[in-house]
């Protein structure tokens, strides 16, 4: 994936996006990856490897939990689900993110001196 | 999402050949799944399979790096999970266990108390063994400290040496870095503090004593060999003495020791005393000349091995020097050889055998306690069987059930362990406080980390031991057996494990009973040894005339002192007779060479006793033939003396003793003109000088009036009305103070002095006997439990028998019979074990052989009587059962 053509991901954002992806229900890694791709219209450059690292990190923090399951086309895959703590984390962080981006956007929207 | 089951079995099978860990495998599987899913999608979108794979891998990014990181995090997670799982299972087990324990508080209390008793007593004994026998001596380089010994003509080693031999060993040998002597005969010193004279336990040391021991000084320094050799007036004191008698001042004072002002130069820390009892160390010069007084075997010798020298090597070297000495002095030596023993062993001496025996016995008690609890657990496991069978049936692993059962029984064990440590702490302290002076090194005994670790180990071990049998049995039940039989699982069949446990208890209890009986028999045998004198109502006062005015070879002040003392004490109310003697039973004593005028054995030795006229009647020593001393036996007249029965039998066999002439070549060698001939005027009975266990020895008695050279230190013997002993002791004490306040005396009832020799034996016997009683009670309780259980199990059978007309006696006989089968089998094993173990305790026996029919017989009789009684109670209960009820309920 050519990074220049994609928006670089801000630190910590990926975790938030993954949690959001899982808020619709348990999903395997590939499912999350394709959901993120389709929702962002391919604009976010996310390596699959980075995604898995995020998933495992979240699992260690017990924000998500994982279990083996079988996909629609009968492949074994590891399904991730939000834990209660994960849901709470998502709500708080989404709120923080919203206020943060709003403030940053508001400042950037001010007319410059040029 | 559905759970994967399809290929599960196949995957598991494949895993057998897979060397990756679970974590790595799962991870690889996950990544693989991801890539495949993407390929599927890409192909669906129209890519070729090859293109799709390339794209999928490319999109994944750095796969190796990702795998490495993911593995690390997965492993962390796995570890955490494993810990959580174990902790969780333990928590559940503990909760179940506590609930179980609370459900039957009586049983739990019994279990906790039994564990506490067993663990507490064992820990306490271990603490003593550890402090006395296992810990190194508290001095620097303790393993290099040795005791030097003499070896007599029969090859027996004894820990006393002569100064002459020591000097030669020291000069001729290289294996010792340093060595020194401690006087045996002088072990106390009169110290005058203000207007009070005290007799302080003292060590008179010769040579570089402090270089050998290297004790820690609280303040000041040791005295040097030069100071000792030049008889400087210096002393070292113990910390306790310094604090209590000298006020603990750092400016060390001079004190009056034996009538002389002596400068205290140093204070030894309390736990660093050697010899243990000493409070005062005083220098004695040694004669730096080879071979001086080789037969004056009057010293303990200690040494510090040179670096790298072993005990056997030093022993060999000293032995060869001793051989040279022997060859140069043929036929004149009492001490033939030399030996070296680690100082620790010399200090502990005979106590080691007793202590090991007691530790062994208390461990046996603990074992019996565990077996007992295991037996109780077995009977209780009946009620647990359905629950356990259900758990096993619904898929709990046998290991998991075992873990739970063991945890359950560890709860009372841990409770018992904690209580036991408290018990051990208390009992160790009270044992040391009460009988510490009959245990060497008792000051080194304490509950420390090492002892606590042993207690913790004992707790775990006994908990597991008590749990193992019932847990294995219970976890072995199957639901089918439970449902299949009307009675259910473990209720049917014989209780073989239970019978084995009780049999083992009986065997161990018999072992202890036999050992105890042997010690009791030995004690009685010891007491049956006639002392040869009557201790009842006798008070002895050891007195040293430690003041300048009494010194000198012929001294009127000395004679006057003894005269006045006897007159004043003799007129006290309650006093019947008084006498004095140099070496009175219960105190110092010694022997030397004697010579008989008409031949007799070369190298004959005898105890040498100086006594006043009334000594024999005062001590209650019978006169066998001839006469005793009388006032006409004056100084300057013909020297007369008496011998004892052993002397007459050993050296004068075939002739009459009275009228023969003998002389004390060792003791009287310092008399001008050599040892004079002494005419024997009578024969008296033998005495056992150091109590009942001492052999009777040849003895000779001379008159105090005729050898006034030696009366600087004598013992006053007072025969009093036994009912007024306490008052007489006090009166004697005050008379001694009134006559000369600078003289201190060691005043004690003779009975107490003699009893002191028996203390260790009595202590060992008492403790072992109480252990064996405890063991017997535990075994009886175990048997009672087993039979009660059998009665409960056989209720229906008993009911049938009763209904068919069996008589009560028959039913009692039936139950008793099965009990006694267990007892007799256990007793048989116990006897075999006793045969082996009692031979190991031969050194503690006196007058009985290890296989003593009376001891063994009485142990067996007591065992059978008590166990029969224990079995009779449930048997009678069984016989009293109403047959109808028994049939209905059984």
In this prediction, residue B489 has a pLDDT band, given cuts at 50, 70 and 90, of very low
Which letter, b or e, does each residue of B474-509 get, where b requires 16 or more Cβ atoms within 10 Å of its Cβ? bbbbebebbeeeeebbbbeeebebbbbbbbbbbbbb
User: What value does the mean pLDDT of chain A take?
Assistant: 82
C-alpha span between B746 and B200 (Å, rounded): 10
**Is A52 in Cβ contact with B34 (below 8 Å)?**
yes
Query: Where is average pLDDT lowest: B220-234, B432-446, B477-491, B696-710?
Result: B477-491
ipTM: 0.84
CB-count exposure of residue B718 (10 Å: 0-12, 13-18, 19+): buried
CB-count exposure of residue B686 (10 Å: 0-12, 13-18, 19+): buried
Query: Where is average pLDDT lowest: A101-110, B201-210, B694-703, B799-808?
Result: B799-808
pLDDT digits (tens, 9 = 90+) for B272-317: 998 888 999 999 888 766 666 777 778 899 999 999 999 999 999 9
**Is B77 in Cβ contact with A59 (below 8 Å)?**
yes
DSSP 8-class letter at B825: H
| Better pLDDT: B9 or B771 | B771
Best interface-test mutation with B: which of A77, A82, A83 has the largest number of B CBs within 10 A?
A: A77
**Is A30 in Cβ contact with B38 (below 8 Å)?**
yes
**Percentage, residues of chain B above pLDDT 70:** 93
Residue pairs between chains A and B whose CB atoms are closer than 8 Å: 85
CB-closest option in B4, B59, B70 to A68: B4
pLDDT of residue B20: 60
Query: Where is average pLDDT lowest: B30-34, B295-299, B414-418, B814-818?
Result: B295-299
The residue whose two tokens read 């065997």 is B507
Q: In degrees to the nearest 10, what's the CA dihedral of B381, B383, B387, B390? A: 90
Q: How far is B4 from chain A (nearest CA, A)?
A: 6
CB-closest option in A29, A59, A69 to B2: A69
- Please indicate if any CB of chain B lies within 8 Å of the CB of A34: yes
Residue B190: pLDDT above 80?
yes
C-alpha span between B425 and B123 (Å, rounded): 9
User: What value does the mean pLDDT take over residues B460-482?
Assistant: 75
Please tell me whether residue B782 adopts helix, strand or coil conformation: helix
Which letter, b or e, does each residue of B442-465 get, where b requires 16 or more Cβ atoms within 10 Å of its Cβ? bbbbbbeeebeebbbebbeebbeb
Query: Where is average pLDDT lowest: B92-101, B506-515, B856-865?
Result: B92-101
In this prediction, residue B729 has a pLDDT band, given cuts at 50, 70 and 90, of very high
Residue B773: pLDDT above 80?
yes
In this prediction, residue B485 has a pLDDT band, given cuts at 50, 70 and 90, of very low
Please tell me whether residue B681 adopts helix, strand or coil conformation: strand
**Is A47 in Cβ contact with B61 (below 8 Å)?**
yes
- Please indicate if any CB of chain A lies within 8 Å of the CB of B73: yes
CB-closest option in A1, A68, A75 to B59: A1
pLDDT of residue B887: 73
**Is A49 in Cβ contact with B60 (below 8 Å)?**
yes
Using an 8 Å Cβ cutoff, are B750 and B585 in contact? Answer: yes
Query: Where is average pLDDT lowest: A45-59, A75-89, B32-46, B324-338?
Result: B324-338
Question: Which residues of chain B make contact with A70, given a CB cutoff of 8 A?
Answer: 1-4, 6
Nearest to B482 by CA among B563, B388, B560, B415: B388
Report the run of H or E that residue B860 belongs to, with start and end. helix B853-880
C-alpha span between B428 and B426 (Å, rounded): 6
Query: Where is average pLDDT lowest: B325-334, B451-460, B738-747, B874-883?
Result: B325-334
pLDDT digits (tens, 9 = 90+) for B622-663: 999 999 999 999 888 899 999 999 999 888 876 788 999 998
**Which residues contact residue B456 at a Cβ distance below 8 angstroms, ignoring those fewer than 6 apart?**
B417
Could you tell me which chain A residue has the CA closest to the CA of B74? A56
**Is B40 in Cβ contact with A73 (below 8 Å)?**
yes
Residue window 29-48, chain B: list those with CB within 8 Å of chain A.
Answer: 29-31, 33-34, 36-38, 40-41
**Percentage, residues of chain B above pLDDT 90:** 39
Question: Which residues of chain B make contact with A60, given a CB cutoff of 8 A?
Answer: 73, 76-77
pLDDT of residue B296: 74
Using an 8 Å Cβ cutoff, are B260 and B137 in contact? Answer: no
How much is the CA Rg of chain A, to the nearest whole Å?
16
Using an 8 Å Cβ cutoff, are B646 and B696 in contact? Answer: yes
Could you tell me which chain B residue has the CA closest to the CA of A45? B59
**Is B59 in Cβ contact with A48 (below 8 Å)?**
yes
Using an 8 Å Cβ cutoff, are B623 and B682 in contact? Answer: yes
**Which residues contact residue B687 at a Cβ distance below 8 angstroms, ignoring those fewer than 6 apart?**
B531, B532, B533, B585, B619, B621, B644, B696, B699
User: What value does the mean pLDDT of chain B take?
Assistant: 85
Nearest to B843 by CA among B518, B400, B438: B518
The residue whose two tokens read 């004992």 is B458
C-alpha span between A56 and A37 (Å, rounded): 20
How much is the CA Rg of chain B, to the nearest whole Å?
39
CA of B714: how far to CAs of B215, B541, B561, B587, B859, in Å?
33, 8, 11, 10, 48
pLDDT digits (tens, 9 = 90+) for B812-848: 888 888 889 999 999 999 999 999 989 888 888 998 9
pLDDT of residue B721: 93
Q: How far is B6 from chain A (nearest CA, A)?
A: 10
Residue B270: pLDDT above 50?
yes
pLDDT digits (tens, 9 = 90+) for A33-48: 888 888 877 777 777 8
Nearest-5° angle of CA B839, CA B845, CA B849?
Answer: 60
Top mean pLDDT of B187-191, B256-260, B867-871, B879-883 is at B867-871
Q: How far is B131 from chain A (nearest CA, A)?
A: 52
pLDDT of residue A6: 54
Please tell me whether residue B342 adopts helix, strand or coil conformation: strand
- Please indicate if any CB of chain B lies within 8 Å of the CB of A33: yes
For A41-109, give the DSSP string: TT-B---HHHHHHHHHHHHHTTSEEEEEEE-TTS-EEEEEEE-HHHHHHHHHHHHHHHHHHHHHHHHHH
User: What value does the mean pLDDT take over residues B157-186?
Assistant: 87
pLDDT of residue B309: 92
For B639-679, give the DSSP string: -EEEEEHHHHHHHSTTS-STT-EEEETTTTTTSTTSPPPEE
Query: Where is average pLDDT lowest: A45-54, B467-476, B515-524?
Result: B467-476
In this prediction, residue B491 has a pLDDT band, given cuts at 50, 70 and 90, of very low
Residue B760: pLDDT above 90?
no
Using an 8 Å Cβ cutoff, are B855 and B846 in contact? Answer: no
C-alpha span between B783 and B54 (Å, rounded): 80
Using an 8 Å Cβ cutoff, are B707 and B562 in contact? Answer: no
CA of B494: how far to CAs of B490, B660, B791, B793, in Å?
9, 81, 12, 9
- Please indicate if any CB of chain B lies within 8 Å of the CB of A37: no
Best interface-test mutation with A: which of B30, B41, B58 has the largest number of A CBs within 10 A?
A: B30
**Which residues contact residue A47 at a Cβ distance below 8 angstroms, ignoring those fewer than 6 apart?**
A1, B59, B60, B61, B62
CA of B4: how far to CAs of A78, B31, B466, in Å?
11, 17, 44
**Which residues contact residue B158 at a Cβ distance below 8 angstroms, ignoring those fewer than 6 apart?**
B149, B150, B151, B152
**Is A75 in Cβ contact with B36 (below 8 Å)?**
yes
Please tell me whether residue B564 adopts helix, strand or coil conformation: helix
pLDDT of residue A70: 84
**Percentage, residues of chain A above pLDDT 70:** 85
CB-closest option in A48, A70, A77 to B61: A48
C-alpha span between B675 and B117 (Å, rounded): 64
**Is A53 in Cβ contact with B33 (below 8 Å)?**
no
**Is B62 in Cβ contact with A53 (below 8 Å)?**
no
C-alpha span between B564 and B567 (Å, rounded): 5
pLDDT of residue B79: 82
Using an 8 Å Cβ cutoff, are B616 and B684 in contact? Answer: yes
Extract the tokens encoding B412.
Answer: 């009372």
Residue window 64-103, chain A: list those with CB within 8 Å of chain B.
Answer: 67-71, 73, 75-79
Query: Where is average pLDDT lowest: B22-26, B62-66, B778-782?
Result: B22-26
Q: How far is B795 from chain A (nearest CA, A)?
A: 55
Query: Where is average pLDDT lowest: B66-70, B146-150, B429-433?
Result: B66-70
Question: Which residues of chain A make contact with B61, given a CB cutoff of 8 A?
Answer: 47-50
Residue B484: pLDDT above 50?
no
Residue B145 has a CB neighbour count (10 Å cut-off) of 23
Could you tell me which chain A residue has the CA closest to the CA of B55? A1
Residue B883: pLDDT above 60?
yes
**Is A77 in Cβ contact with B37 (below 8 Å)?**
yes
Is the dihedral angle over the CA atoms B595, B600, B604, B606 positive or is it negative?
Answer: negative
Could you tell me which chain A residue has the CA closest to the CA of B62? A49
Best interface-test mutation with A: which of B2, B4, B6 has the largest number of A CBs within 10 A?
A: B4
| Better pLDDT: B712 or B17 | B712
Residue B601: pLDDT above 80?
no
pLDDT digits (tens, 9 = 90+) for B340-390: 999 998 888 878 888 999 999 999 999 999 998 888 888 777 777 777 777
CB-closest option in B37, B66, B70 to A30: B37
pLDDT of residue B109: 87
pLDDT of residue B483: 54
pLDDT of residue B389: 77
Query: Where is average pLDDT lowest: A76-80, B438-442, B675-679, B744-748?
Result: B438-442
C-alpha span between B613 and A105 (Å, rounded): 126
B219 DSSP β-pair partners:
B267
Look up the pTM and report it.
0.75
């Amino acid at each position: 994936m050519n990074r220049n053509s994609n928006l670089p991901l801000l630190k910590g954002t990926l975790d938030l996006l993954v949690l959001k992806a899982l808020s619709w229900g348990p999903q395997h890694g590939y499912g999350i990856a394709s959901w993120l791709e389709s929702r962002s219209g391919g604009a976010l450059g996310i390596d699959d490897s980075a995604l898995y690292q995020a998933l495992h990190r979240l699992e260690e923090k017990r924000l998500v939990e994982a279990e083996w399951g079988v996909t629609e086309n009968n492949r074994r895959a590891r399904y991730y689900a939000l834990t209660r703590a994960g849901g709470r984390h998502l709500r708080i962080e989404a709120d923080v993110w919203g206020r943060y981006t709003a403030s940053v956007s508001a400042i950037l929207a001010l007319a410059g001196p040029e | 999402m559905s759970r994967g089951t399809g290929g599960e079995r196949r995957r598991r099978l494949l895993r057998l050949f897979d060397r990756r860990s679970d974590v790595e495998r799962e991870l690889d599987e996950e990544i693989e799944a991801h890539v495949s899913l993407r390929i599927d999608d890409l192909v669906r979108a129209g890519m070729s399979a090859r293109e799709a794979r390339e794209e999928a891998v490319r999109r994944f990014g750095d796969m190796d790096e990702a795998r490495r990181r993911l593995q690390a995090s997965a492993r962390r997670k796995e570890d955490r999970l494993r810990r959580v799982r174990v902790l969780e299972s333990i928590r559940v087990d503990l909760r179940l266990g506590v609930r179980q324990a609370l459900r039957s508080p009586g049983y739990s209390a019994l279990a906790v108390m039994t564990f506490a008793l067993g663990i507490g007593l064992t820990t306490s004994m271990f603490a003593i063994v550890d402090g006395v026998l296992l810990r190194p001596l508290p001095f620097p380089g303790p393993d290099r400290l040795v005791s030097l010994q003499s070896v007599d003509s029969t090859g027996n080693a004894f820990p006393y040496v002569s100064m002459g031999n020591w000097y030669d060993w020291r000069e001729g040998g290289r294996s010792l870095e340093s060595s020194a002597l401690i006087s045996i005969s002088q072990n106390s010193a009169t110290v005058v503090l203000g207007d009070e004279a005290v007799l302080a336990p003292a060590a008179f040391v010769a040579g570089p004593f402090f270089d050998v021991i290297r004790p820690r000084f609280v303040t000041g320094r040791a005295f040097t060999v030069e100071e000792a050799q030049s008889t400087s007036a210096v002393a070292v004191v113990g910390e306790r003495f310094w604090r209590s008698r000298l006020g603990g001042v750092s400016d060390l004072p001079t004190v009056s020791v034996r009538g002389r002002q002596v400068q205290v130069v140093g204070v030894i820390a309390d736990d660093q005393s050697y010899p243990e009892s000493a409070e005062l160390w005083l220098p004695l010069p040694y004669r730096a000349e080879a071979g001086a007084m080789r037969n004056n075997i009057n010293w303990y010798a200690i040494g510090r091995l040179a670096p790298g020298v072993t005990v056997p090597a030093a022993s060999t070297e000293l032995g060869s020097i001793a051989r040279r000495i022997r060859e140069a002095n043929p036929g004149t030596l009492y001490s033939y050889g030399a030996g070296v023993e680690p100082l620790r062993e010399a200090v502990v001496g005979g106590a080691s055998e007793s202590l090991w025996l007691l530790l062994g016995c208390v461990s046996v008690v603990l074992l019996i306690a565990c077996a007992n609890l295991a037996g109780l657990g077995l009977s209780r496991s009946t009620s647990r069987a359905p629950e356990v069978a259900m758990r096993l049936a619904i898929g709990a692993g046998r290991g998991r059930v075992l873990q739970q059962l063991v945890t359950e029984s560890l709860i009372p064990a841990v409770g018992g362990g904690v209580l036991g440590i408290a018990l051990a702490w208390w009992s160790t302290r009270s044992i040391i406080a009460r009988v510490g002076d009959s245990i060497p090194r008792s000051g080194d005994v304490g509950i420390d980390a090492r002892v606590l670790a042993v207690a913790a180990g004992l707790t775990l071990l006994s908990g597991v031991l008590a749990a193992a049998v019932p847990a294995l049995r219970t976890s072995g039940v199957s639901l089918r057996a439970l449902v299949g039989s009307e009675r259910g699982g473990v209720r049917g069949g014989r209780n073989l494990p239970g019978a084995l446990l009780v049999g083992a208890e009986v065997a161990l209890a018999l072992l202890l009973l036999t050992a105890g009986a042997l010690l009791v028999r030995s004690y009685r045998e010891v007491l049956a040894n006639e002392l040869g004198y009557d201790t009842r109502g006798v008070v002895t006062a050891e007195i040293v005339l430690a003041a300048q005015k009494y010194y000198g070879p012929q001294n009127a002040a000395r004679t006057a002192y003894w005269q006045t003392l006897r007159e004043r004490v003799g007129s006290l109310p309650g006093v019947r007779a008084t006498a004095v003697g140099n070496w009175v039973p219960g105190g110092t004593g010694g022997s030397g060479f004697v010579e008989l005028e008409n031949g007799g054995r070369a190298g004959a030795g005898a105890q040498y006793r100086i006594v006043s006229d009334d000594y024999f009647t005062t001590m209650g020593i019978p006169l066998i033939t001839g006469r005793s001393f009388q006032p006409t036996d004056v100084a300057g007249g013909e020297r007369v003396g008496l011998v004892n029965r052993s002397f007459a039998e050993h050296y004068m066999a075939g002739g009459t003793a009275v009228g023969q002439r003998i002389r004390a070549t060792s003791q009287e060698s310092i008399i001008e003109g050599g040892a004079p001939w002494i005419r024997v005027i009578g024969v008296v009975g033998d005495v056992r000088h150091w109590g009942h266990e001492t052999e009777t020895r040849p003895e000779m008695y001379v008159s105090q009036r005729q050898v006034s050279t030696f009366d600087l230190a004598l013992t006053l013997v007072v025969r009093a009305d036994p009912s007024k002993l306490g008052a007489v002791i006090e009166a004697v004490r005050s008379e001694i103070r009134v006559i000369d306040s600078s003289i201190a005396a060691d005043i004690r009832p003779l009975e107490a002095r003699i009893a002191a020799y028996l203390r260790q034996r009595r202590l060992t016997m008492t403790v072992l006997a109480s252990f064996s009683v405890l063991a017997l009670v535990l075994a009886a309780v175990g048997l009672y439990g087993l039979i009660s259980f059998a009665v409960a199990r056989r209720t229906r059978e008993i009911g049938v028998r009763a209904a068919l007309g069996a008589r009560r006696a028959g039913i009692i006989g039936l139950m008793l019979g099965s009990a006694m089968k267990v007892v007799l089998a256990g007793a048989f094993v116990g006897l075999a074990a006793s045969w082996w173990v009692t031979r190991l305790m031969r050194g503690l026996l006196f007058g009985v052989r290890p296989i003593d029919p009376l001891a063994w017989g009485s142990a067996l009789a007591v065992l059978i009587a008590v166990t029969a009684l224990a079995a009779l109670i449930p048997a009678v209960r069984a016989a009293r059962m109403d047959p109808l009820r028994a049939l209905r309920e059984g």
